[in-house]
Amino acid sequence: MRNGVTAALLIFSLFIFDACTKNGKLISGNRGKYNLVVTLYDKDIDDPANDRRSYYEVSVDKSEFGRTTIGLESQKKVFEASLTPDRHLVKVEKWILDESLGRYIKLNNLYQPKPNFIYVNIEEGKTSRVTVESTKYGTSVYKVTKE
């Protein structure tokens, strides 16, 4: 009985360890220090009635990875992750709250940030900060800084 419990705990531990990695990349929140921080917001909201609640889904290297915090379109929404040092494809997709449906829906492709991706070089011991400023028409400016 005791050997069976030990074996089950070992298998469970291996499963948890395997779940913490995805294609050789460390999944968000597993290292204590994030080396990728993505901040997104709309810079041209001119009427509070048009400032909808939103978030962004974030994919890394064509794999779903997570999402940002939720906030008004004019507020900064943040995504943090710990990735292996390498060049990574980061793609974003905007979702807005449809108050009539009571749920979030993907924003029409016409108004999605363009471009909706950026390549980011993650370096050992440095944090890459990506800031995405979007407009209500979908045009975006990406700024990358290293710390």
| 52 vs 13: which has the higher pLDDT | 52
Determine the Cα–Cα distance for residues 67 and 103; give it in Å rounded to an integer: 16
Q: What angle do CA 140, 125, 129 make, to 5 degrees?
A: 15
Here the tokens at position 76 are 């900064």
pLDDT at 91: 97
- Which of 13-27, 71-85, 129-143 tops mean pLDDT? 71-85
pLDDT at 136: 82
pLDDT (average), residues 92-108: 96
Quote the percentage of the chain above a pLDDT of 70.
78
The per-residue pLDDT of the chain, averaged, comes to 84
pLDDT at 115: 94
Per 3-state DSSP, the chain is made up of helix, strand and coil in percentages (nearest 5) of: 15, 50, 35
Question: What tens digit of pLDDT does each residue of 26-83 get?
Answer: 444 444 589 999 999 999 999 999 999 999 999 999 999 999 999 999 999 999 999 9
| 142 vs 7: which has the higher pLDDT | 142
Phi then psi dihedrals of residue 42, to 5 deg:
-95, 135
Q: What is the dihedral of CA 89, 121, 116, 29, to 10 degrees?
A: 70
Determine the Cα–Cα distance for residues 146 and 22; give it in Å rounded to an integer: 24
